[in-house]
Amino acid sequence: MRTSLITPSLLALTATPAFAADGGADLLSPNAGLMFWTLLIFLLLLGVLSKFAFGPITRAVEARERALADAIEGAKRDREEAAQLLAEHKRQLDEARTEAQKFIADGRATGEKMRAELLEQTRREQAEMLERARREIDNEKIRAIAELRREAVDLAIAGASRVVEQNLDSAGNRKLVESFLATVGPVSASKR
């Protein structure tokens, strides 16, 4: 601030006597006094500016250049980091897709396996139910045949006792008819 007030005041002091002596006429003719004072003021101004103005201006420009270089370098680093992060994200995304496809394939395989197991279990249960039903039918058939034999024995005894018209001992008759039917039963069953 002090320097900026000194420079114009020096210029005004030196230029005023030169114009006053000449009367302001003939500005284009060489004047040694005017040239001396102009050169002296120029050199003083150059020294003052070099000492107080050019240094800070140069330092400010250099600081600005360093700041810009640092900003450019930082931008390059940031761009490289962003490229690395993008590559890493793409790699992770590809891994996630691969893993998801693997999970889907595993799920399908597990579903098919469970389906096959359920079908096999259903077939086994169906076969067991059919076998159980056959056994029950055979058991019922045997029971029905035994019941029919008992009734046939009872009817045969009743018929024979009427024919003979005497009531023989019931246990003996039953044994006799059952032994007869046992010999007759398989023969008649094999003829069917």
pLDDT at 15: 55
Residue among 18, 13, 22 nearest 35 (CA)? 18
Per-residue pLDDT, 64? 95
Mean pLDDT of 85-97: 95
Mean predicted confidence (pLDDT) in 75-93: 95
Rg of the Cα atoms in the chain:
65
What tens digit of pLDDT does each residue of 122-165 get? 999 999 999 999 999 999 999 998 888 888 888 777 777 666 65
Cα–Cα distance, 15 to 28 (Å, whole number): 15
Q: Check whether 43 has a pLDDT greater than 80.
A: yes
- Mean pLDDT on 85-92: 95
* pLDDT score recorded for residue 192: 47
Task: Name the average pLDDT for the chain.
Answer: 82
Q: What's the whole-number mean pLDDT along residues 155-179?
A: 69
Query: How are the residues of the chain apportioned to helix, strand and coil, as percentages rounded to the nearest 5?
Result: 90, 0, 10
Global pTM reads 0.37
Query: Which pLDDT score is estimated for 23?
Result: 53
Does residue 58 have a pLDDT over 70?
A: yes
